Amino acid sequence: MQDVKKGQALELSKKLAAYSTALTYDELPAEVVEFTKLCILDYFGSAIAGSGKAPVRMIAELADEMGGKDQARLFTGGKSSVLNAAMVNGAASHIVELDDIHKGSIIHAATVVIPAALAIAEWKRLSGEDLITAVVAGYEVCFRIGEAVSPSHYYYWHNTATCGTFGSAIAAAKLLGLDEEQTIAALGNAGTQAAGLWEFIEDGAMSKQLHTAKASMNGVLAALLAQKGFTGPRKILEGDRGFFKAMSEEYDETRITEGLGQQFKIMENSFKIHASCRHTHHAVDMLIDIFKERKPSLEEIDSVKVESYQVALNITDDADPQTEYAAKFSLQFCSALALLKGSASLADFNEQSLWDEEVRALMKKVEVITEPGIDASYPKKWGAAVEVVFKGGDSVKMATEYPKGDPENAVTAQELYDKFIGMASDFPAEKRERIAKKLVDLEKVQNIEELMDNL
Amino acid sequence: MQDVKKGQALELSKKLAAYSTALTYDELPAEVVEFTKLCILDYFGSAIAGSGKAPVRMIAELADEMGGKDQARLFTGGKSSVLNAAMVNGAASHIVELDDIHKGSIIHAATVVIPAALAIAEWKRLSGEDLITAVVAGYEVCFRIGEAVSPSHYYYWHNTATCGTFGSAIAAAKLLGLDEEQTIAALGNAGTQAAGLWEFIEDGAMSKQLHTAKASMNGVLAALLAQKGFTGPRKILEGDRGFFKAMSEEYDETRITEGLGQQFKIMENSFKIHASCRHTHHAVDMLIDIFKERKPSLEEIDSVKVESYQVALNITDDADPQTEYAAKFSLQFCSALALLKGSASLADFNEQSLWDEEVRALMKKVEVITEPGIDASYPKKWGAAVEVVFKGGDSVKMATEYPKGDPENAVTAQELYDKFIGMASDFPAEKRERIAKKLVDLEKVQNIEELMDNL
């Protein structure tokens, strides 16, 4: 058994490289193409919405200060080198906390893989088909590596950054047309640059944006060097002094190869359609449904009960949030907002809504509790139940096992389109619709440079 | 006891930042200034000698392809952004394996700290005094961090790259004039970028140059962002999800603070004056002395015996090296070379010397063995004994406990000057002497830009 494992172990980078170099657009099922386009549309929304935030502006200022050739467009404005573009755009797309998430690998792949792919595709004037294929390969590789090291790696390491670097390298390698040996080198030098510690979360430092910025950039760097003949360790994952052993208490290398080439793991990706903590989404989904059905006024509502798993309450039981950010992590606030306004989008979280008198009044009627049955199913299911009792004495009860956006409770293309339009609300309507339309028909784009010129 | 340790633990980055921001040129003892200038001179030799090697050229090509403002000079030619300069010059100075080494932390500090310091000092037109002070601070901080995590960290991680990133950040922060809070942020974001796995050594990949390149660049990046207000984790070293716990089986945080501000750890630095493996240096030192004394011909020599510790033989017992690189790791080759040519410098290792008939003939007379007494003192002392028996029947015996260049067996300034001249042999004599002279009088240089313009 150990020998079989060892036998496999000699081949991991080679197998990933063989998979990636062989993948073609033509073999992608139509549903994979459609889904991948939604991932890219969703990325654009996050990158546009995040581009004005302070940490992103600082990284963009740095890129401007350093300079670079006009190779790829920055979501913060202007063009710079592909490395700078991967860095700035990797920072921009993670900060509003609305980017996609893969539960199995705990990776937000879009913010690392897509900026890398976009930068190379724009620079080399490649097509929408090329971009889609590279994103599929990049997601596949980083999801597999993340699954192999989860959950132990995640304690210290920010998977999106560490494992994401491999995804960025694969997407860039694919678009640069690297051969198998060069792709192995790119993976090796991606892994030996992999970094990003969770320590920043202890004091809320800005490092989270630096992590995704650098992961995207470092993967591109590894691929660009590999193209020049720069070699990297061939066994970066399973080697005795490699990524698995150095950075994970436990790991399962079978996750790298099992079903490789037969599955499309990008299809397991989850989307966030609300701008609040993921642990509030189940309740928000249902309360928005009730809003749509009845549009209740504050006066009509007698009480709201939200039942969920313990972890959700640990993180989101906050009856009196004091900041916009804290409001996103308050189950009471998000529930009241959803039931009164029918929405919990980016535009709904601001200083004004934070102190909205009706929302604050309804929050006093919201009770949040742990329900043992729901708790027992966590984390496989992120479930919740809500009960809204009206003054007239009637009530509505609802329950869900998966927040909307999980593959088991998928959002529609229209919902993601609407989300994008909301995320890009700083753009004139014509501009954001033009970009969205291009992205919806991405496979028809002949030259990514032309797409990016719309920004 | 645990509490005392915990109390200290809250303050590590703050203490390092307080030390670094307070350090001034005026308080450096004259011997520290003199020694630091030698470290910088030695760095220049390695960077010049390495600038033409293939992996370095590839990284320089990449920097050129990406572009960047003309802020700092590259040892490979031309100017680019400070980030690109730190990257290219960080790659250049490690590849000929003649750069300095600190035994306690297992760090080659020059190749990471000095390119970072040079790039900022040139860009900001700072003085030689500023540069010297920043290098002293950068060495101090990365040596302490390396000592705190050695030896366990070193099994997976390339200390020069991981711990070196902190040294680069400190040198850059010092030259940018960051305050204490900004310097804490720079340390935090240096640590969360720290990377570099030993896996590349398994197949001799080029990643070693990428490690030093990126460590130097990432430290500069952390400092530049900190200057813009970009925050980093305040407890990157000792925090629950920080550098020590994530990347080291064992660590000793007292090494960070013990004697901080009262010592100058740069004084513990070792220099390599021969271009061969460090485990051959003891014998080479003594055989060069015998050469100088007698200049023996091949015919006069009857036999050579070299006794040393077991580890030296494990790595360097090679009676028939087939490549220039292997020759540097052959104790037999290096011993014969030293005794016949009186030198084992960079210029002495090439295809011609590899197959030199006299050297090959003398190698057959060289016996290398482990001596139990010498072995027992390793690794505290890297000792050896040599005995050369001449045809006339007389013989010379010598023994040493430390190779030349260790602090316990220091090289002279003249020897390092001569080493530099040899390393810069591709430059016209006038040019290399001009540069060496500037470096010997570095504290008199008013503007580092002017120094770098000599390259």
Convert the pLDDT of each residue in B104-117 to its tens digit.
Answer: 898 999 999 999 99
Quote the Cα angle for A383-A388-A394, to 5°. 135
Chain B closest CA to A178's CA: distance in Å? 16
Q: Domain check: are B235 and B317 in the same one?
A: no
Chain B closest CA to A208's CA: distance in Å? 9
Residue type, B69: K
Whether residue A207 and residue B233 make contact (CB cut-off 8 A), yes or no, is yes
Tell which wins on pLDDT, A8 or B282.
Answer: B282
Q: Which residues, 6+ apart, have CB-to-CB distance to A388 below 8 Å?
A: A287, A290, A296, A301, A303, A304, A339, A395, A396
Beta bridge partners of A308: A370, A384
Residue A420 resides in a domain: no
Residue A338 resides in a domain: yes
Per-residue pLDDT, A3: 38
Q: Sort out which chain B residues have CB atoms less than 8 A from A224's CB and list them.
A: 62, 65
Q: Domain check: are B150 and B214 in the same one?
A: yes
Residue count (chain A): 455
Chain B closest CA to A194's CA: distance in Å? 6
Positive/negative CA dihedral, B175, B178, B184, B187: negative
Q: Sort out which chain B residues have CB atoms less than 8 A from A124's CB and list them.
A: none
Residue A423 resides in a domain: no
Listing DSSP states for B255-266 in one string gives HHHTTTTT--GG
Per-residue pLDDT, B10: 56
Q: Domain check: are B265 and B289 in the same one?
A: no
Q: Sort out which chain B residues have CB atoms less than 8 A from A58's CB and list them.
A: 225, 228-230
3-state secondary structure of B396: strand
DSSP B101: B
Q: Domain check: are A238 and A297 in the same one?
A: no
Q: Sort out which chain A residues have CB atoms less than 8 A from B238's CB and list them.
A: none
Residue whose structure tokens are 């079903």: A259
Q: A335-349 burial string, b = 16+ CB within 10 Å, else e?
A: bbbbbbbebbbbebb
Per-residue pLDDT, B2: 37
Nearest-Cα residue of chain A relative to residue B243: A197
Q: How confident is the model at residue B202 (pLDDT cuts 50, 70, 90)?
A: confident
Nearest-Cα residue of chain B relative to residue A158: B192
Whether residue A240 and residue B67 make contact (CB cut-off 8 A), yes or no, is no
Cβ-nearest to A225 among B58, B197, B247: B58
We report the CATH number of the domain holding residue B150 as: 1.10.4100.10
Q: Domain check: are B297 and B209 in the same one?
A: no
Whether residue A200 and residue B228 make contact (CB cut-off 8 A), yes or no, is no
d(CA B187, CA B236): 7
Per-residue pLDDT, B378: 87
Chain B closest CA to A363's CA: distance in Å? 34
Residue A424 resides in a domain: no
pLDDT lower than 70: segments of chain A:
1-10
Share of chain B above pLDDT 90, in %: 90
Whether residue B197 and residue A241 make contact (CB cut-off 8 A), yes or no, is yes
Quote the Cα angle for B67-B94-A236, to 5°. 80
Residue A434 resides in a domain: no
Chain A closest CA to B54's CA: distance in Å? 9
Q: Domain check: are A301 and A253 in the same one?
A: no
Whether residue B157 and residue A224 make contact (CB cut-off 8 A), yes or no, is no
Mean pLDDT of B64-71: 98
Per-residue pLDDT, B204: 84
Q: Sort out which chain A residues have CB atoms less than 8 A from B228's CB and list them.
A: 58, 61-62
Q: Is the pLDDT of residue B7 over 90?
A: no
Contacts 24+ apart (CB under 8 A), A257-262: A257/A8, A257/A11, A257/A12, A257/A15, A260/A15, A260/A16, A260/A19, A260/A140, A260/A144, A261/A19, A261/A22, A261/A23
Q: Which residues, 6+ apart, have CB-to-CB distance to B380 below 8 Å?
A: none
DSSP A125: T
Residue A254 resides in a domain: yes
Whether residue B206 and residue A82 make contact (CB cut-off 8 A), yes or no, is no
Q: Sort out which chain A residues have CB atoms less than 8 A from B85's CB and list them.
A: none
Whether residue B234 and residue A203 make contact (CB cut-off 8 A), yes or no, is yes
Per-residue pLDDT, A363: 98
DSSP B32: H
Whether residue B55 and residue A230 make contact (CB cut-off 8 A), yes or no, is yes
Cis amide prior to B55 (ω within 30 degrees): no
User: Number of structural domains, chain A?
Assistant: 2
We report the CATH number of the domain holding residue A327 as: 3.30.1330.120
* CB of B446 closer than 8 Å to CB of B127: yes
Q: Domain check: are A152 and A34 in the same one?
A: yes
Q: Domain check: are A35 and A59 in the same one?
A: yes
Q: Domain check: are A300 and A260 in the same one?
A: no
Q: Sort out which chain A residues have CB atoms less than 8 A from B62's CB and list them.
A: 221, 224-225, 228
Residue from A325, A327, A420, A345 nearest A47 by CA: A420
d(CA B212, CA B111): 7
Mean pLDDT of B422-448: 96
Give me the domain span that covers residue A283.
278-403
Give chain B's mean pLDDT. 95
Share of chain B above pLDDT 70, in %: 98
* Residue from A12, A14, A58, A230 whose CB has the most chain B CBs within 10 Å, to mutate: A230
Per-residue pLDDT, B315: 82
Nearest-Cα residue of chain B relative to residue A213: B193
Whether residue B199 and residue A155 make contact (CB cut-off 8 A), yes or no, is no
Residue B417 resides in a domain: no
Per-residue pLDDT, A417: 96
Beta bridge partners of A303: A389
Longest CA pairwise span in chain A (Å) = 75
Residue from B58, B91, B412, B352 nearest A229 by CA: B58
Per-residue pLDDT, A10: 56
Q: Domain check: are B260 and B379 in the same one?
A: no
Q: Domain check: are B239 and B329 in the same one?
A: no
Q: Sort out which chain B residues have CB atoms less than 8 A from A192's CB and list them.
A: 195-197, 199-200, 207, 210-211
Q: Sort out which chain B residues have CB atoms less than 8 A from A207's CB and list them.
A: 188-189, 192, 231-233
Q: A139-166 burial string, b = 16+ CB within 10 Å, else e?
A: bbbbbbbbbbbbeebbebbbbbbbbbbb
Cβ-nearest to A66 among B81, B229, B242: B81
Residue B421 resides in a domain: no
Q: Domain check: are B365 and B217 in the same one?
A: no
